[in-house]
Amino acid sequence: MKKIQIFSVSLGILIAFLLGFGANVLLFNDDSIEVYANDNTETIVIDAGHGGYDVGCIAWDGTQEKDITLDIALSTGELLEEAGYNVVYTRTSDNVSWPEDNKEDLQSRVDIAENANADYYISIHVNSSDYNDGASGYETYVDFNDDEMVEMAESIHEQLGLLNYTLDRGLMDTNEIPLYVVSNNSIPALLLEVGFITDINDFNYMVNNSDDLAQAIANGIMNSIKAEEINEEV
């Protein structure tokens, strides 16, 4: 009798353990699926061009590039953060952490990305030209040997194109036209010129629709990261 009792108790414990274990496995799987779906672990550096002592280009009304880039950069970063990405900003105000020296300024921005061990570096700028040459549109500087960043640039251009505010001037190869923050960066990087401060339509759009521009840039970045993840899974 006693042996049978001990046996059935042990069996009961074993069954309970197995059920519990099974349930744990199922729960664990559920958790990992959920975590995976929301797991935007990439670190994205958002670099607002210029800042502090360096005003960038200036519009006829005195508006400075550094203020337009900061506006768009902060909104872009916020959207990426809301989507769960880790965002690192080179600056979040007109106060800059680097000295008044162009080389040290640019190197400090690269250092911020490298120290954060970031996955992507997105620099936001505004173009300028002579007022009478009619230049307008957005363009992106990227290393043409870096397929992933070329795809991200194309993805951003696709989204900017939906806004229909100006011309798509295409992509520029930093192997031909080197840009410090792209060419001297171990983090995959691109530099977007959102429009021309010297073009009245571009200028008005950049000043009045910075949130739309930020949404397009953020969507372009996120679509490209997701497409890359799907490619890796296949």
Binding site for Zn ion (CB under 5 A): 49, 56, 125
- Least gap, CB of 128 to Zn ion (angstroms): 8
- Least gap, CB of 125 to Zn ion (angstroms): 4
Long-range contact pairs involving 208-215 (C-beta distance under 8 Å, separation at least 24): 209/163, 209/165, 210/68, 210/71, 210/72, 210/75, 211/75, 212/163, 213/72, 213/75, 213/160, 213/163, 214/72, 214/75, 214/76, 214/78, 214/79, 215/75, 215/79, 215/159
Strand order across the 120-127 sheet: 86-89, 43-48, 120-127, 189-196, 138-142, 168-173
Q: Which candidate in 148, 193, 229, 232 is catalytic?
A: 193
Helix or strand (DSSP H, E) at 14: helix 2-37
Kindly give the pairing relationship between strand 138-142 and strand 189-196: antiparallel
- Least gap, CB of 136 to Zn ion (angstroms): 16
- Least gap, CB of 32 to Zn ion (angstroms): 43
Distance CA 71, CA 160 (A): 17
Residue nearest to Zn ion (CB): 125
- Least gap, CB of 190 to Zn ion (angstroms): 14
229 is catalytic: no
> Which CB atom, from 69 or from 219, has the smaller least distance to Zn ion?
69
> Which CB atom, from 171 or from 179, has the smaller least distance to Zn ion?
179
> Which CB atom, from 42 or from 195, has the smaller least distance to Zn ion?
195
As given in the structure block, the two tokens for residue 161 are: 């194109």
> Which CB atom, from 56 or from 220, has the smaller least distance to Zn ion?
56
> Which CB atom, from 24 or from 102, has the smaller least distance to Zn ion?
102
Active site residues: 193
